[in-house]
Structure formats: structure tokens, C-alpha cells
Amino acid sequence: MERVALTSDLLMSRNSMLADAGNRSSAALPRFDRKTLRGAFGRFATGLTVVTAASEDGPVGITANSFSSVSLDPPLVLWSIARSSRRFAAFADASFQAIHILGADQMDLSRRFFHDGRDFTGLGTSSGIGDVPLIDGALARLECEIVRRVDCGDHLVLIGEVRAMETGDGEPLVFSAGRYGILAAFVT
Ligand SMILES: Cc1cc2nc3c(=O)[nH]c(=O)nc-3n(C[C@H](O)[C@H](O)[C@H](O)COP(=O)(O)O)c2cc1C
């Protein structure tokens, strides 16, 4: 296990620069190497979702593993969208979004919406709250109204309140360290 740390010199200069900048921008500050940081974050195994919304240019989707459940009462979930994404405006502006939690047999769907957010051809779809495209066959589907948007570094965190949901049966699709997987077994 290799440890990577910002040195105390770098941290001191980072802290004084943050004070100078009034915490507004970290553009010129010392930072972790992106690849190393991504490697560490990526060790966390997640499920996979496809998030969909209606937009001015029609239906849009994106593969996202930043999804997390937050609260049961009220029923809140979150996911985050990269500011660099060409799909950013469509999702940042959408009041309603559907989160599809993918099953082990839906790797193709994940790949499709990783590459292209506009291609719904051949998918079984229907229309949900706010005209949001709902894709058939997910392990669970949460139709959400976005109740809060939080600026967070190079991502925007979208917090949604669940307005409708459906749950199916099956095993989840898993993602860790850049690889798709399925669970071999649950321990007890
Ligand atoms: C497993 C996986 C998880 C991802 N999770 C997110 C996510 O949570 N948020 C996000 O903005 N992009 C995420 N992406 C990237 C998007 O799916 C998509 O590839 C990216 O937005 C492509 O750039 P574009 O929107 O400019 O076409 C993820 C990609 C993969 C393969």
C-alpha cells in the first residue's frame, strides 16, 4: 500500500493561498495527481445507474455511479454530474430525473449511456413524471424531483426527492477499479 500525501510545505502554502483566495478558487493550488486520486476513489465498489431526464433537445441519459441514498423520511437520494460533461446543462436544469439502478444483465445499457446520452433507439421506454424517459428493465427505478443543487468542486451534486418508484428482482451490476462485475456470492 503506497501512501501519497501533500507535503507540509505544500499544505502550508495551500492553506495560505486558500486564505488569500477567500476559498474561492483552487485553480493554482498544489493538488494530488488526478490519476492517483481517481485510482483511490475508484477502489470503492459501487452499483451503477443510468439517470434520465427530458431536455430542450429531447430525452437524455447518463451512466453514473455517484448515486447514493441519503434519507428515508423524506425520501432523498443524490448523484453528481461533472461540470465538464456535454450533458451538464441538460441535467443541471432538469427539475425531474429518473434514476435506474442497473441489474447484472444491463452492462450494455451502462456502456450505451457512457458513450452517448441521446441514443434511446431500440429501448423499451415510457414517460414518467415531468415527461422523463423511463427505461424498462431496471432493478429499481426512482422518479425524483430535484429539490437541491450543491456546487461541489468540479461536480454539481443533485439532491432528488423520490416521487414514484418501482422495484424488480435480480442481482446488481457492480463497478470497481474501472471494471464491471457481478457478485459471485453474498456472505450470509
Ligand atoms: C462506471 C461509470 C460511472 C460514471 N459515473 C458518472 C457520474 O456519477 N457522474 C458523471 O458526471 N459522469 C459519470 N460517468 C461518465 C458519464 O457516464 C459519461 O461517460 C460522460 O459524461 C461522457 O462525457 P459527455 O457527457 O461529455 O459525453 C461515469 C462513467 C462510467 C463508465
Q: Model confidence over 98-116: pLDDT tens digits?
A: 999 999 999 999 999 999 9
What stretch(es) of the chain map to CATH 2.30.110.10? 46-174
Q: Model confidence over 33-64: pLDDT tens digits?
A: 999 999 999 999 999 999 999 999 999 999 99
CATH code at 46-174: 2.30.110.10
Give the distance (Å) from ligand 1 centre to CA of residue 88: 10
pLDDT beyond 50 at 140: yes
Phi-psi region of 58 (alpha: psi -120 to 50; beta: other; left: phi over 0): left
Residue nearest to atom 14 of ligand 1 (CA): 64
Q: Which atom of ligand 1 is nearest to the CA of 66?
A: 8
